[in-house]
Amino acid sequence: MSYNLQVDIDKSSGFCFGVVYAIEMAEDILDNEGYLYCLGDIVHNDEEVERLTKRGLKIIDHEILKGLRDEKVLIRAHGEAPSTYQLALENNLTLIDASCPVVLKLQNRIKVSHDSDEQVLIFGKHGHAEVIGLQGQTDGKAIVFQDLAELDHVDLPAKFTLYSQTTKSTDKFYHIKDELISRGYDIKANDTICRQVSNRYEELENFVVNYDRIIFVSGKKSSNGKVLYDVCKKYNDSSYFVSTVDEIDQNWFAANDKVGICGATSTPMWLMEKVKSALEQY
């Protein structure tokens, strides 16, 4: 049976400027030198990481970094804690710093708050690379939480400063802020969510309502991918999350369906185009 699917890719999906910047930096060095170390996955998308590792990108963790000497190491868009820069000095490492400017600005603001003896709270994902870098600006003293329930067991001061990981949901951030204020806390709240990310909520709302089915393409490690997929699901119940072409199920579709493809800020356009080609074969 031929499904005769009509398939479109969302024009506003794909890499944000921070990811584009990091990948272009990596590719330039790979073209010239043949290899480059990268601290952590350059982007939370396994397919793109695999493409770049085939070109010579060597993904390392902080443990391997400690033993590295006299090499170039890429800092990805998520940014790093001050301790990483200190280690680079000690080990004579050249850091190719592709930290996103939005993240760097947030790191600086958090450092200023901490240096002013403010208690810092960060709404973010535990263990996320960006959050580790943010918490590092406070010598690990910032309180990180993923949802409000975690704060029920924390003895919070009457007054504190609230920040957010750049890829979190704006709605959720403001809900948390309002709830904490209603509990009587004196809060200095800083909406530090990247507008290139938050603007995509509305763009996705407008996109997904025009299709019978939505295929949302994202790496499973992407925080931003989870948030944006929830937006798709909210406005089009026939939305499916896939990381690779192999995860698509033909049974999701009916003949002549209009199918929309979209993705996270860490999803490469070539991968969405690969999904489109596969669907057009059905």
Quickly list DSSP for 95-147: EEE---HHHHHHHHHHHHHHHTTPPEEEES-TT-HHHHHHHHTTTT-SEEESS
The one-letter amino acid code at 179 reads E
- SS3 (DSSP) at 4: coil
- Give pLDDT, residue 258: 97
- Which residue out of 130, 150, 179, 202 is catalytically annotated? 130
| Cα within 13 Å of Cα(193), Cβ side | 21
Cβ-contact 91, 68 below 8 angstroms: yes
Question: CB within 8 A of 242, min separation 6: which ones?
Answer: 215, 216, 217, 248, 275
Q: Residue 266 — very low, low, confident or very high, per pLDDT cuts 50/70/90?
A: very high
pLDDT tens for each residue of 27-37? 999 999 999 99
Cβ-contact 158, 186 below 8 angstroms: yes
pTM: 0.88
Nearest to 116 by CA among 161, 165, 166, 177: 161
How far apart (Å, rounded) are the C-alpha atoms in residues 182 and 123?
17
Residue 54 φ then ψ, to 5° = -65, -25
Q: Residue 220 — very low, low, confident or very high, per pLDDT cuts 50/70/90?
A: very high
pLDDT tens for each residue of 99-119? 999 999 999 999 999 999 999
**Domain limits of the chain?**
6-14+196-281, 17-100, 102-193
- The reply to whether domains 6-14+196-281 and 17-100 share a CATH topology is no
Q: Residue 2 — very low, low, confident or very high, per pLDDT cuts 50/70/90?
A: confident
**Multiple choice CATH, 6-14+196-281, 3.40.190.10, 1.10.10.10, 3.40.1010.20, 2.40.50.220:** 3.40.1010.20
pLDDT tens for each residue of 174-211? 999 999 999 999 999 999 999 988 899 999 999 999 99
For domain 17-100, the CATH architecture is 3-Layer(aba) Sandwich (3.40)
Q: Residue 255 — very low, low, confident or very high, per pLDDT cuts 50/70/90?
A: very high
Round to the nearest angstrom and report the end-to-end CA distance of the chain.
Answer: 8
Mean pLDDT, rounded, for 207-235: 94
Q: Residue 270 — very low, low, confident or very high, per pLDDT cuts 50/70/90?
A: very high
How far apart (Å, rounded) are the C-alpha atoms in residues 66 and 18?
26
Q: Which two tokens stand for residue 281?
A: 């074969």
Task: Tell me which residue has tokens 């204020």.
Answer: 181
130 counts as catalytic: yes
- Give pLDDT, residue 196: 86
**Is the predicted pLDDT of residue 1 greater than 80, yes or no?**
no
How far apart (Å, rounded) are the C-alpha atoms in residues 249 and 108?
45
The percent of residues above 70 in pLDDT, for the chain, comes to 100
- Give pLDDT, residue 153: 87
pLDDT tens for each residue of 125-175? 999 999 999 999 999 999 999 999 999 989 999 999 999 999 998 999 999
Q: How many residues appear in the chain?
A: 282
How far apart (Å, rounded) are the C-alpha atoms in residues 26 and 154?
41
Assign domain 102-193 to a CATH class.
Answer: alpha beta
